């Protein structure tokens, strides 16, 4: 097996300890640069050390990873999350802002420092202000000297797929959660990218077998992926090794990963296209002229043509529910706590569209949730202190937790849990409605595990995991628009164990960032340190629409009032850029 590392990709230092585990250090200076990855528009992107695309993080199982982040953006705070890593014992290094840390303000630095004991294909991205679609997203690969598949391939190749917007997220988000967008229509990407570019040639040597590590780093679109003339053999999903399983086409939601083996042909007679095609079912309106596809080629002979991909008749992807984990971990039969999450989209009385779990849309607390745990002693087990809008779920040490998620929305949503991979024990077809335990089919004996899974339109999923990782772990839709509209729950796992592990052990730079960002670090969700049950002053969502009011009715009413005041001016306002982005 060979891995290619250009000098650009090499970490700045690499120290081997006696037992072979290394410390891999990256210095990341985050700043705006310019790029034109789809050849259609140059735009500002968030780069690292003056470059974009940003470098992959590469380490070996057992290593310590240190990422020194400097925020040189000048006009936005930031953070990094290491998607899929369990952060066992280091929940304070997980990255989501106002959950496990304060934002890293402009001009400040923050050091992420953690060990990785899990091999596989991951990625890292900003977990602040819906920023990662602005380019702050890159692969994170953990090599495994003991991989059960290591004798099955000669070389590995990382491939990222992603959607791409010409507008900046700060502008697009302002238009998305807004009275100007009462239906909650998500901006549609302008392009699809592979490795943050288009038309990517990959040199292939005949007869060799390659491990393709594929990552969907997109904000919104799932991608159908297929290689003409070659079968994919799936061996890993989201860091979990699988029994090798053949697939002609996969469906990769935002944030999912697939490692597949592809054996090259013995002849160099022709080159072959591969395609990533964005799932347009996700788009409310498909703009005229949108090309949902991105193409690359397996190039056996660079003097030969790279053929245009053949049009396919139908998308018939492999169903990931059928995968079997290589370790055959058995179904958790006995459930200690079932968490039912009923999700929907609806308007609140500001006219904007929000996303809800059990009628609550997430609003960030005044104090990062981890710091509420660390500053409230025995009261940390009382869910009340975490506020009215964080969808907090308290988990007890080592219990088996079942999440039943009922999607009361006609859209597809990829759900992600931080800190764990979960067993996917049931997944309905579309329009199945809520999960009905009594009518449920037999559960698989060795369910597929991963950290991000799709729930189908008006369908349901059932996930199980063991609460063996004390920490604050978000459970959220990985469509970045829905993070903004509040489709987030907060798992507060063994809070007293978190205190035992971390009280007094949070590095000082974490607190320094809070001070610089002017964020309080003690007390309940409202920052109250005296009466922890008093949430006066907490951040809350707008109120519900009055009973009897149709959402669209009140929106029309607000519009006519505003129109009466502003006259023709409102037409210009309604036609602002964020709205235009949706209709092409």
Total of chain residues touching Cu ion, rule CB under 5 A? 4
Nearest partner of 195 among 45, 55, 6, judged by Cα? 55
Interface residue with ligand NAG among 66, 185, 517, 562 (CB under 6 A) is: 66
Which of Cu ion, ligand NAG, none does residue 364 bind to, with CB < 5 to 8 Å depending on kind? Answer: none
Residue 38 Ramachandran class (φ > 0 left, ψ -120 to 50 alpha, else beta):
alpha
Which of Cu ion, ligand NAG, none does residue 168 bind to, with CB < 5 to 8 Å depending on kind? Answer: ligand NAG
Decide whether 340 or 509 has the Cβ nearer to ligand NAG. 509
CB-closest chain residue to Cu ion: 477
Which of ligand NAG, Cu ion, none does residue 113 bind to, with CB < 5 to 8 Å depending on kind? Answer: ligand NAG
Pair type for strands 293-299 and 200-203: parallel
Decide whether 210 or 220 has the Cβ nearer to Cu ion. 220
The verdict on 442 binding ligand NAG (CB under 6 A) reads no
The verdict on 21 binding ligand NAG (CB under 6 A) reads no
Residues 273-312 within binding reach of ligand NAG (CB under 6 A) = 277, 291-293, 311-312
Taking the complex as a whole, how short is the minimal distance between the CB of residue 335 and ligand NAG, in angstroms?
18
Binding mask 148-177 for ligand NAG (x = CB under 6 A): ---------xxxx-------x-x-------
Taking the complex as a whole, how short is the minimal distance between the CB of residue 81 and ligand NAG, in angstroms?
16
Which of Cu ion, ligand NAG, none does residue 413 bind to, with CB < 5 to 8 Å depending on kind? Answer: Cu ion
C-alpha to C-alpha distances, 425 to 323, 328, 385, 405, 428, nearest whole angstrom: 12, 14, 32, 12, 10
Residue 219 Ramachandran class (φ > 0 left, ψ -120 to 50 alpha, else beta):
alpha
Strands (E) located in 448-529: 449-450, 452-455, 460-466, 471-477, 488-493
Total of chain residues touching ligand NAG, rule CB under 6 A? 38
Which of ligand NAG, Cu ion, none does residue 477 bind to, with CB < 5 to 8 Å depending on kind? Answer: Cu ion
Other Cβ atoms less than 10 A from the Cβ of 155: the count is 16
Q: What is the DSSP letter of 113?
A: E
Decide whether 266 or 303 has the Cβ nearer to ligand NAG. 266
Binding mask 369-408 for ligand NAG (x = CB under 6 A): -------xxxx-----------------------------
The verdict on 75 binding ligand NAG (CB under 6 A) reads yes
The verdict on 266 binding ligand NAG (CB under 6 A) reads yes
Nearest partner of 258 among 227, 289, 288, judged by Cα? 227
The verdict on 476 binding Cu ion (CB under 5 A) reads no
Which of Cu ion, ligand NAG, none does residue 469 bind to, with CB < 5 to 8 Å depending on kind? Answer: ligand NAG
Decide whether 414 or 523 has the Cβ nearer to ligand NAG. 523
Pair type for strands 200-203 and 64-71: unpaired
Binding mask 386-425 for Cu ion (x = CB under 5 A): ---------------------------x------------
Taking the complex as a whole, how short is the minimal distance between the CB of residue 21 and ligand NAG, in angstroms?
12
Q: What is the DSSP letter of 309?
A: P
| Alpha-carbon span 472 to 92, nearest angstrom | 8
The verdict on 275 binding Cu ion (CB under 5 A) reads no
The verdict on 86 binding ligand NAG (CB under 6 A) reads yes
510-537 as b/e: b if 16+ CB within 10 A = beebbebbebbbebbbbbbeeebeebee
- 3-state class (DSSP) for residue 191: strand
Considering only CA atoms, give the Rg of the chain. 24
C-alpha to C-alpha distances, 176 to 169, 250, 273, 280, 545, nearest whole angstrom: 10, 30, 36, 19, 19
First to last CA, the chain: 45
Residue 399, token pair as written in the block: 């219990």
| Alpha-carbon span 584 to 285, nearest angstrom | 9
Residues 96-115 within binding reach of ligand NAG (CB under 6 A) = 111, 113
Interface residue with ligand NAG among 84, 105, 139, 414 (CB under 6 A) is: 139
Nearest partner of 411 among 331, 353, 332, 474, judged by Cα? 353
C-alpha to C-alpha distances, 538 to 189, 489, 510, 524, 533, nearest whole angstrom: 35, 17, 22, 9, 12
Pair type for strands 137-143 and 109-115: unpaired
| Alpha-carbon span 80 to 67, nearest angstrom | 9
Taking the complex as a whole, how short is the minimal distance between the CB of residue 315 and ligand NAG, in angstroms?
7
Residue 448, token pair as written in the block: 């597929």
Which of ligand NAG, Cu ion, none does residue 445 bind to, with CB < 5 to 8 Å depending on kind? Answer: none
Interface residue with Cu ion among 477, 489, 514, 535 (CB under 5 A) is: 477
The verdict on 482 binding Cu ion (CB under 5 A) reads yes
Decide whether 295 or 353 has the Cβ nearer to ligand NAG. 295
Residues of the shown chain interacting with ligand NAG in the complex, contacts defined by CB under 6 A: 4, 32, 44, 56, 66, 75, 86, 88, 111, 113, 139, 157-160, 168, 170, 195, 200, 202, 207, 263, 265-266, 277, 291-293, 311-312, 376-379, 420, 468-469, 532
List interacting residues with Cu ion (CB under 5 A): 413, 477, 479, 482
């Amino acid at each position: 097996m060979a891995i290619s590392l250009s000098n650009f990709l090499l970490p700045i230092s690499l120290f081997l300890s006696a037992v072979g585990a290394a410390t891999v250090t990256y210095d990341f200076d985050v700043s705006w640069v310019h790029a034109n990855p789809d050849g259609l528009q140059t735009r500002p992107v968030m780069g690292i050390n003056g470059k974009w695309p940003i470098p992959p993080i590469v380490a070996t199982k057992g290593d310590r990873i240190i990422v020194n982040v400097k925020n040189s953006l000048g006009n936005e705070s930031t953070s990094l999350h290491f998607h899929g890593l369990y952060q066992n014992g280091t929940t304070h290094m997980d990255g989501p802002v106002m959950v496990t840390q304060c934002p890293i303000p402009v001009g400040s630095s923050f050091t992420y420092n953690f060990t990785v004991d899990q091999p596989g294909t991951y990625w890292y991205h900003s977990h602040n202000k819906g920023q990662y679609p602005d380019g702050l997203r890159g692969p994170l690969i953990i090599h495994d000297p003991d991989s059960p598949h290591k004798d099955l391939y000669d070389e590995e190749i990382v491939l990222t797929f992603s959607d791409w917007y010409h507008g900046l997220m700060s502008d697009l988000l302002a238009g998305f959660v807004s009275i100007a967008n009462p239906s909650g229509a998500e901006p549609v990407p302008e392009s699809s990218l592979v490795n943050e570019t288009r038309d990517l040639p990959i040199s292939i040597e005949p007869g060799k077998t390659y491990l393709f590590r594929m990552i969907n780093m997109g904000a919104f679109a799932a991608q159908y992926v297929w290689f003409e003339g070659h079968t994919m053999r799936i061996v890993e999903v989201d860091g979990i090794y699988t029994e090798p399983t053949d697939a002609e086409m996969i469906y990769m939601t935002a944030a999912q990963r697939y490692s597949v083996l592809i054996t090259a042909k013995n002849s160099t007679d022709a080159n072959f296209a591969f395609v990533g095609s964005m799932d347009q079912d996700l788009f409310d309106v498909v703009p005229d002229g949108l090309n949902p596809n991105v193409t690359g080629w397996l190039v056996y002979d660079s003097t030969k043509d790279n053929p245009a991909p053949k049009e396919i008749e139908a998308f018939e992807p492999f169903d990931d529910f059928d995968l079997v984990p290589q370790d055959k971990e058995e179904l958790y039969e006995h459930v200690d706590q079932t968490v039912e999450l009923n999700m929907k989209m609806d308007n609140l009385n500001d006219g904007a569209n929000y996303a809800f779990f059990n009628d609550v849309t997430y609003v960030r607390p005044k104090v990062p949730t981890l710091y509420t745990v660390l500053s409230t002693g025995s009261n940390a087990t009382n869910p009340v202190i975490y506020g009215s809008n964080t969808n907090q779920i308290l988990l007890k040490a080592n219990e088996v937790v079942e999440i039943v998620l009922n999607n009361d929305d006609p859209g597809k949503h990829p759900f992600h849990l931080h800190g764990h991979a979960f067993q996917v024990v049931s997944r309905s077809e579309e329009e199945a409605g809520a999960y009905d335990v009594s009518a449920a089919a037999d559960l698989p004996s060795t369910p597929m595990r991963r950290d991000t899974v799709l729930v189908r339109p008006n369908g349901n999923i059932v996930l199980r995991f063991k609460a063996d990782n004390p920490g604050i772990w978000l459970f959220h839709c990985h469509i970045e628009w829905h993070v903004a509209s509040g489709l987030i729950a907060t798992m507060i796992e063994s809070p007293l164990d978190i205190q035992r592990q971390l009280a007094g052990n949070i590095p000082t730079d974490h607190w320094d960032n809070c001070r610089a960002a002017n964020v309080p670090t003690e007390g309940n969700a409202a920052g109250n340190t005296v009466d922890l049950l008093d949430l006066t002053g907490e951040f809350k969502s707008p109120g519900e629409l009055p009973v009897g009011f149709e959402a669209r009715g009140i929106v029309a009413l607000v519009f006519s009032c505003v129109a009466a005041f502003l006259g023709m001016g409102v037409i210009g306002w309604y036609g602002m850029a964020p709205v235009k982005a949706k209709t092409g």
